[in-house]
């Protein structure tokens, strides 16, 4: 039995990139009976960048519904909100005392985000990877599916876990990060050299999983390609066309080679329409399930509560192991 752990920040929109590259893969991991899956909304991470309270609230409800709409099932997996499980904040503090300022200040994401939010370089922004280490280590995770940009945080999680284990013996399971193969690289529709990002200011660059069908079609029709006319999978020289082929392959559940073969005779405009239509079809059942769930807030909250209870139970055991090893006097009763 393998424990799989991952999380997503409930901020902005859930993009087609998140859907294909992350949560849809979570769903297939859940389908494997050898896996025990734990998925969180990383709402504590979200406040490293200032959030309007009503946005944080609405996005958290929306992302919880989105995860369930993808097919994540609260009966099979643990699905919860990070802020509901206090052990995350507590372990993050403990781990802080085993983490060096130097290593945090060298993290790529910290440097990028400090440049982007230079008016609010708060401690949380720097401490982000330690909280992420706490998330993962609390659940004795074996495998952590993430995107490329998060691999450095998994490395530091491993370093911290090994450091603690070297001092106190076997406290933490040392996790492995991995990048799911399917849909790993869904790129911006306007700049296919860079990743499709939920914070992209250009709305044409990004498909939201909740975009209306006509909006999806419009965005694909405007997708940036190249000045050639040949449809071929060649990420280096034809980033735009290759991105469309990768998306098509996932939407039509076939290999990229097969998608390339089927589309080789099409004009660029026809390829864009085909990709758009397939994505609309892929998202249709998801969209209607989302609409149903988001209308039932009481049900979502009940699921989140049960998820948090299951998560806390696991997290508390790990936290206690570490607290005792450090030498804190156990609270009686
Ligand atoms: N930092 C991750 C991201 O932005 C989200 C995240 C938070 C996460 N905690 C995690 C991912 C633990 C994997 C494991 O994508």
Residue nearest to atom 6 of ligand 1 (CA): 7
pTM: 0.94
In order of 10, 112, 129, 160, the CA distances from 87 in angstroms are 19, 28, 16, 17
Q: Would you list the DSSP string of 80-140?
A: EEGGG-THHHHHHHHHHTTS-HHHHHT-HHHHHHHHHTTT---HHHHHHHHHHHHHHHHTT
Ligand 1 atom, smallest distance to 8 CA: 5
Q: Which residues, other chains included, contact 75 with Cβ-Cβ below 8 Å and sequence gap of 6+?
A: none
Query: Which pLDDT score is estimated for 182?
Result: 74
What is the rounded (10 degree) CA torsion for 34, 143, 21, 41? 100
Query: Which pLDDT score is estimated for 262?
Result: 97
User: Which residues form the catalytic set?
Assistant: 113, 195, 198
Query: How many Å lie between the centroid of ligand 1 and the Cα of residue 154?
Result: 9
Pocket test of ligand 1: the residue of 11, 109, 132, 148 to mutate, having most ligand atoms within 8 Å of its CB, is 132
Average pLDDT score, the chain: 96
Ligand 1 atom, smallest distance to 147 CA: 15
pLDDT in tens, the chain (333 residues): 999 999 999 998 999 999 998 898 999 999 999 999 999 999 999 999 999 999 999 999 999 999 999 999 999 999 999 999 999 999 999 999 999 999 999 999 999 999 999 999 999 999 999 999 999 999 999 999 998 889 999 999 999 999 999 999 999 999 999 998 877 789 999 999 998 988 888 999 999 999 999 999 999 999 999 999 999 999 999 999 999 999 999 999 999 999 999 999 999 999 999 999 999 999 999 999 999 999 999 999 999 999 999 999 999 999 999 999 999 999 997
**H or E stretch including 176?**
strand 176-178
Dump pLDDT digits (tens) for 149-202.
899 999 999 999 999 999 999 999 999 999 988 777 899 999 999 989 888 889
Give the span between the Cα atoms of 145 and 147, in whole angstroms: 7
Given a contact cutoff of 8 angstroms between Cβ atoms, the answer to whether 3 and 143 are in contact is: yes
Residue nearest to atom 11 of ligand 1 (CA): 7
Query: How many Å lie between the centroid of ligand 1 and the Cα of residue 223?
Result: 29
Query: How many Å lie between the centroid of ligand 1 and the Cα of residue 131?
Result: 9
In order of 65, 80, 163, the CA distances from 156 in angstroms are 31, 24, 10
Instruction: Please list every protein residue whose CB sits less than 6 Å from any atom of ligand 1.
Output: 5-9, 42, 45, 132, 135-136, 144, 146, 150
Query: How many Å lie between the centroid of ligand 1 and the Cα of residue 151?
Result: 10
CA atoms within 13 A on the CB side of 320: 9
At residue 140, what are phi and psi to the nearest 5 degrees? Answer: 50, 45
Residue nearest to atom 3 of ligand 1 (CA): 8
Ligand 1 atom, smallest distance to 149 CA: 15
Query: Which pLDDT score is estimated for 96?
Result: 98
Query: How many Å lie between the centroid of ligand 1 and the Cα of residue 290?
Result: 23
Total Cβ atoms within 10 A of residue 132: 23
Query: Which pLDDT score is estimated for 12?
Result: 86
Instruction: Assign 3-class secondary structure to 266-290.
Output: CCHHHHHHHHHHHHHHHHHHHHHHH
Q: Would you list the DSSP string of 217-269?
A: HHHHHT----S-------TTT-HHHHHHHHHHHHHTTS-HHHHHHHHTTS-HH
- Nearest Cα residue to 14 out of 221, 289, 199: 199
In order of 77, 212, 274, 325, the CA distances from 140 in angstroms are 15, 40, 43, 16
Query: How many Å lie between the centroid of ligand 1 and the Cα of residue 150?
Result: 7
Dump pLDDT digits (tens) for 290-312.
999 999 999 999 999 999 999 99
Report how far apart the first and last C-alpha atoms of the chain are (Å, whole number): 33
Ligand 1 atom, smallest distance to 22 CA: 15
Residue nearest to atom 15 of ligand 1 (CA): 8
Residue nearest to atom 13 of ligand 1 (CA): 6
């Amino acid at each position: 039995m393998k424990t799989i752990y991952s999380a997503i920040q409930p901020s902005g929109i859930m993009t087609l990139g998140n859907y294909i590259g992350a949560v849809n893969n979570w769903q297939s991991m859940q389908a494997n009976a050898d896996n025990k899956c734990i998925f969180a909304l990383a709402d504590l991470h979200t406040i490293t960048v200032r959030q309007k309270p009503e946005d944080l609230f609405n996005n958290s409800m929306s992302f919880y519904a989105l995860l369930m709409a993808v097919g994540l099932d609260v009966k099979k997996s643990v699905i919860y909100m990070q802020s509901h499980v206090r052990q995350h904040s507590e372990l993050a503090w403990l781990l802080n005392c085993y983490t060096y300022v130097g290593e945090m200040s060298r993290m790529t994401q910290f440097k990028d985000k400090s440049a982007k939010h230079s008016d609010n370089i708060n401690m949380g922004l720097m401490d982000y990877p330690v909280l992420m280490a706490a998330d993962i280590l609390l659940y004795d995770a074996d495998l952590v599916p993430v995107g490329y940009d998060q691999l450095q945080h998994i490395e530091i999680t491993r370093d911290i876990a090994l450091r603690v284990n070297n001092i106190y013996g076997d406290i933490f399971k040392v996790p492995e990060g991995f990048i799911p193969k399917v849909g790993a690289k869904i790129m911006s529709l306007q700049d296919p050299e860079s990743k499709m990002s939920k914070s992209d200011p250009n709305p044409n660059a990004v498909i939201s999983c909740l975009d209306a069908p006509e909006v999806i079609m419009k965005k694909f029709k405007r997708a940036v390609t190249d000045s050639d006319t040949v449809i071929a999978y060649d990420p280096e020289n034809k980033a735009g066309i290759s991105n469309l082929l990768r998306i098509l392959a996932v939407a039509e559940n076939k290999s990229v080679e097969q998608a390339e073969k089927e589309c080789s005779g099409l004009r660029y405009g026809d390829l864009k329409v085909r990709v758009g239509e397939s994505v609309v079809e892929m998202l249709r059942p998801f969209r209607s399930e989302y609409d149903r769930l988001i209308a039932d807030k009481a049900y979502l909250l009940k699921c989140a509560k049960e998820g948090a209870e299951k998560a806390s139970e696991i997290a508390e055991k790990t936290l206690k192991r570490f607290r005792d090893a450090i030498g804190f006097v156990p609270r009686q009763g």
